[in-house]
Amino acid sequence: MMDLSWVVFGVLVLVALFLDLFVFHRHPHKISVKESLLLSAFWLMVGLGFSLYVYYTRGHQAFVEYITGYTLEKALSLDNIFVFILIFSYFKVPEEYRHKVLFWGVFGAIVFRAIFIFAGIELVKMFHWIIYIFGVILIVSAVKLLTTEDREFHPEETLPYRIAKRLIPIVPHYADGRFFIKDGGKYKATPLFLALLLVESSDIMFAIDSVPAILAISTDPFVVYTSNIFAILGLRSLFFAANAILPLFHYLHYGLSFILGFIGVKMLISEFYKIPVVVSLLLILSAVLVSVLASLLKKPSPPSDD
């Protein structure tokens, strides 16, 4: 028999997505920073509100694990937003169509995150030593994030882009925001489809970091999956405000690098010492807060003489 909690979660997500697509964004339009912040607040209330349901049905420990997982995924998603910005910039996606790409991209994220999370949990149960591999992956990712300054994005070099260009005929125009059009008796993709494809593939790549990270917090499938999905759902709305705000946070990648490194170490030492979930939550929040405050306190660079 299916756990009633999964039914409640599924219904809540479907209702929220319905409101987002058919009420808030019934007509394609450019989303302002103000609207983005209001929608982000809506999704934040949904995600944090669900934590109260977790507390009521599963207890205090599951509640803390949910909040920590939600915060972790939210923080790591900020780096994902940078990539989305670069994708939309490269393809010159009109602003009124960007929400559509992110909306449909979230369905793919829901499916692929489920595959990664449930597969990861089963792997940890069957082969406990794999947690050390996850830890190493996170530490390597932390070092890479810390040392990589280049934020350029070259979709023509990615495998999904090359495969799509080879297999699917593509038209150069956006065709009123459609992903495919019928042209000359054949269906052809628009650049909007390519943008969706790159958004989806980038989320899969980020899941390689975020899923092992959240498995260090909890291995309860319900807690892990619901906290992950609610954090992702709010990512789309946050994008439109982050597009204007995130470039100001020059030191954010240091905070994200610390989080990945900390979670990696947490996994590597888990056999000898288990760091309490509350400590993990406080360190994650502190890393984001310190990096944001440091960015805000940074003095603007003097204008160039060139």
The residue among 127, 98, 124, 108 whose CA lies nearest residue 36 is 98
**What confidence tier does 306 reach under pLDDT thresholds 50, 70, 90?**
very low
Q: Please write the tens of the pLDDT for every residue from 253-279.
A: 788 888 888 888 998 898 888 888 888
Q: Between residues 247 and 6, which one has the greater pLDDT?
A: 6
- Pick the closest to residue 108 from 179, 41, 156 (CA basis): 179
What is the distance of C-alpha 150 from the center of its chain?
A: 20
Alpha carbon of residue 135 to chain centroid? 20
Cα 185–187–192 angle (5° rounding)?
145
Backbone region of residue 230 per phi and psi (left: phi > 0; alpha: psi in -120 to 50; beta: other values): alpha
Let me know the angle formed at the C-alpha of 280 by 261 and 275, rounded to the nearest 5 degrees.
Answer: 90
Q: What is the pLDDT of residue 180?
A: 86
